[in-house]
Amino acid sequence: MTWVVVASAVMLGIGAIMALIRVEKGPSVLDRMVGLDVVTSILIIGVALAAALGRRTESISILAALALVGFVGSLAIARFASVEPEDAGRIKSLEEVRAEESALAEAEVEAARLEAEIAASRDDEAG
């Protein structure tokens, strides 16, 4: 029985690592969700394997919980999936972040100036 458990556990580990590679690569959030679903079911098989090795019965309730919980997460994410830009998974470089921040700051300054102008023109009309 022991070598059967070891062989099964090694195969489960290989499958889980490949699913995690898929989660890391994406490219969309739905691909990642499918990978996490596979990891959840591998977890179910692994808990069943550990229970079978020692003939432990207390982990059966864990199986029931896992079978229900993995489903809720993927359903929620699939329901609210939206159109993502092509490079949504890319990590921005420091220069890009700085450029975006300075553009945002300029826009704020411009908005404040316009607001002040509008307020001034209103004052003129009232006066």
Partner 1 sequence: MSWVQLSDVVAGVCFLLAGFLTVAAGIGMKRFPGLLGSIHAAAKPQGLGVLLALLGLALRLREVRYVAVLALVGLFQLLTTPVSFHMVARGGYRTGKVDPDHLVVDELIHDLADSANGEAED
71 or 101, CB closer to partner 1? 71
Select 61 or 93, whichever has its Cβ closest to partner 1. 61
Please give the span between the terminal C-alpha atoms of the chain, in angstroms, as a whole number: 94
Please report, for residues 17, 21, 31, 51, 76, the alpha-carbon distance to residue 67 in angstroms, rounded to integers and kept in the order given. Answer: 20, 23, 20, 16, 16
d(CA 46, CA 110): 59
User: How many beta carbons lie within 10 A of that of residue 11, not counting itself?
Assistant: 12
Considering only residues 34 through 93, tell me which ones interact with partner 1, judged by CB under 8 A.
34-35, 37-38, 41-42, 44-45, 48-49, 51-52, 55, 57, 60-61, 63-64, 67-68, 70-71, 74-75, 78-79, 81-84
Nearer to partner 1, 60 or 104 (CB): 60
What phi, psi does 42 have (nearest 5°)?
A: -65, -35
Q: Which residues here bind partner 1, judged by CB under 8 A?
A: 1, 4-5, 7-12, 14-19, 21-22, 28, 30-31, 33-35, 37-38, 41-42, 44-45, 48-49, 51-52, 55, 57, 60-61, 63-64, 67-68, 70-71, 74-75, 78-79, 81-84
